[in-house]
Amino acid sequence: RQPHFTVKRSDFPEDFTFGTSTSAYQIEGSAFGSCGPCHWDSFAAAPGNVVRYENGSKACDHYHRWDGDLDLMQQLGVSAYRFSTSWARILPEGRGQVNEEGLDFYDKLVDGMLERGLQPNLTLYHWELPNALSDIGGWRNRDVTDLFADYAEIVVKRLGDRLSSVVTFNEPWCVTWYSHFHGAHAPGLRDIRAVSRAAHLVPVAHGKALAALRALGQKDLGIVLNFEHVSPFDESHASKTAAKLTEGIYNRWFLGGLFKGAYPDDVLAYLEPHLPEGWQQDMESIKAPLDWLGINYYTRNLVSAGETEDDAGLPEMIGNKGPLPRTEMDWEVYPEGLGYLLNWIKDTYTGDLPLAITENGMANNDKLVNGSVDDQERIAFLDAHFKQALSAIENGVPLKAYFVWSLMDNFEWALGYDKRFGLVHVDFDSYKRTPKASYHALQAMLDKS
């Protein structure tokens, strides 16, 4: 149990960036400001998808409390903020009529960051697809890839002159596999054909948006991928094979497309029959050079083989837990996985390309007691992961930034509001914000040289 960080600010390079990360649907409140309906609103309203039918309609009420939230970041002492814009807030129908109120909101938000010395780092897609586009097939429909590039252009034309970086997609694996195969996130599909199309069309949409933003002269363009440290649950051949395939789907598919212009053969063997026709012609634009890569890391996965396969022959892969301590999400705490992945990504795919940790953090059983939250576990968690980042830097990994997930407790998707990831506690009745012990510890760490 430790009250403060053992890692010091001065252990990191002087120009290293610390920030916090959030996303629009998880904090803003989709009921406010003439935001259009998105597939998360519908997904949450259908039975069995989100605990207690919770949703992001009010979320943290950030739409009305944004200036106080920016103050909290400024007082924390970070120099950067990773936020996202909601497609449905800016284009309620997904295309056509712009909701000026929505664009104005982000405009003043970005100005508010600059006034407080916070570099604005924008993510264009953190999962709230407008219902109008979900209705035409969402990421299974190639038309949506063009509409995404149009949306990206609208946002960047308005905000681009003040942004430090722009990310197309947050976590393509979640957008595709988690949402179209595991059914865990909107649109809640469980279908190899659906996920195969999405796993290609999301990179296509990325490539189109990237080209559009380059044409506008926008700088520092990137994408954010999520990674797990994957290994076999035991020494059996079956577990090793299942782990390899899981790791391919999770860690190598999008990296392969983006950095080699080729999907990995072992995964492609299962998806190719279902990919959209002419997919090979898209690979050139998918691998267009990026300025940086964002990495989200939370946990490891120990994989064993199941007994079954799906109707298209994809073998069942089972995620298991080992003996490590777990967070409130029941995720094993495995900081070494972050160090391993940073080195592996650099050595295998990205070389000298600047990298950033765009999300890392934990859900904790945080209780407000006498006006404070004593989240020692989060301090220890971040400290251990900061150490891994430091050794990677020492080892030559061009890691430039670290964004903690998350600034404040928020709508944790299918798990609703009681999985608390924040440095700041949110009371979801009064919307009162209370900085936790981890906030104060990070503040002290950033303050001392």
- Site residues (CB under 6 A) for ligand GBH? 23, 26, 170-171, 174, 178, 226, 296, 298-299, 319, 331, 359, 405, 412, 421
Give me the least distance between CB of 161 and ligand GBH, in Å please: 27
Distance between CA atoms of 25 and 41, rounded to whole angstroms? 9
Distance between CA atoms of 434 and 255, rounded to whole angstroms? 38
Nearer to ligand GBH, 158 or 251 (CB): 251
Give me the least distance between CB of 112 and ligand GBH, in Å please: 22
Nearer to ligand GBH, 292 or 298 (CB): 298
Report phi then psi at 109, rounded to 5: -65, -45
Is 277 annotated as catalytic? Answer: no
Give me the least distance between CB of 362 and ligand GBH, in Å please: 9
Q: Is 53 annotated as a binding residue?
A: no
For residues 445 and 7, the answer to whether their CB atoms sit within 8 Å is: yes
Distance between CA atoms of 21 and 122, rounded to whole angstroms? 10
Distance between CA atoms of 78 and 114, rounded to whole angstroms? 13
Q: Is 417 annotated as a binding residue?
A: no
Q: Is 126 annotated as a binding residue?
A: yes
| DSSP annotation string for 312-368 | T-PEEEEEE--SS-B-TT--B--HHHHHHHHHHHIIIIITTS-EEEEE----B----
Nearer to ligand GBH, 59 or 380 (CB): 59
Going from the C-alpha of 316 to that of each of 58, 198, 200, 322, the distances in angstroms are 38, 20, 21, 19
Distance between CA atoms of 221 and 239, rounded to whole angstroms? 38
Give me the least distance between CB of 403 and ligand GBH, in Å please: 11
Report phi then psi at 401, rounded to 5: -155, 160
Nearer to ligand GBH, 82 or 95 (CB): 82
For residues 146 and 155, the answer to whether their CB atoms sit within 8 Å is: no
Is 359 annotated as catalytic? Answer: yes
The region, left, alpha or beta by phi > 0 then psi within -120 to 50, assigned to residue 100 is: alpha
Nearer to ligand GBH, 24 or 212 (CB): 24
Give me the least distance between CB of 364 and ligand GBH, in Å please: 12
Q: Is 413 annotated as a binding residue?
A: yes
Nearer to ligand GBH, 375 or 412 (CB): 412
Report phi then psi at 231, rounded to 5: -145, 160
Contacts (Cβ under 8 Å, ≥6 apart) of 57: 29, 30, 31, 41
For residues 441 and 1, the answer to whether their CB atoms sit within 8 Å is: no
b/e map of 223-247 (b: 16 or more CB within 10 Å)?
Answer: bbbbbbbbbbbeeeeebbbbbbbbb
What's the number of CA atoms in the CB half-sphere (13 Å) around residue 431?
Answer: 14
Point out the catalytic residue in the list 28, 128, 171, 377. Answer: 171
Nearer to ligand GBH, 357 or 393 (CB): 357
Give me the least distance between CB of 345 and ligand GBH, in Å please: 16
Nearer to ligand GBH, 26 or 119 (CB): 26
Distance between CA atoms of 226 and 7, rounded to whole angstroms? 25
For residues 184 and 173, the answer to whether their CB atoms sit within 8 Å is: no
User: From the CB of residue 168, how many other CB atoms can be counted at a distance below 10 Å?
Assistant: 25
Give me the least distance between CB of 255 and ligand GBH, in Å please: 16
Q: Is 309 annotated as a binding residue?
A: no
Point out the catalytic residue in the list 247, 332, 359, 377. Answer: 359
User: Facing residues of 110 across strands?
Assistant: none
Give me the least distance between CB of 9 and ligand GBH, in Å please: 25
* Residues known to be catalytic: 171, 359
Q: Which residues are annotated as a binding site?
A: 26, 126, 170, 298, 405, 412-413
Q: Which residues are annotated as a binding site for substrate?
A: 26, 126, 170, 298, 405, 412-413
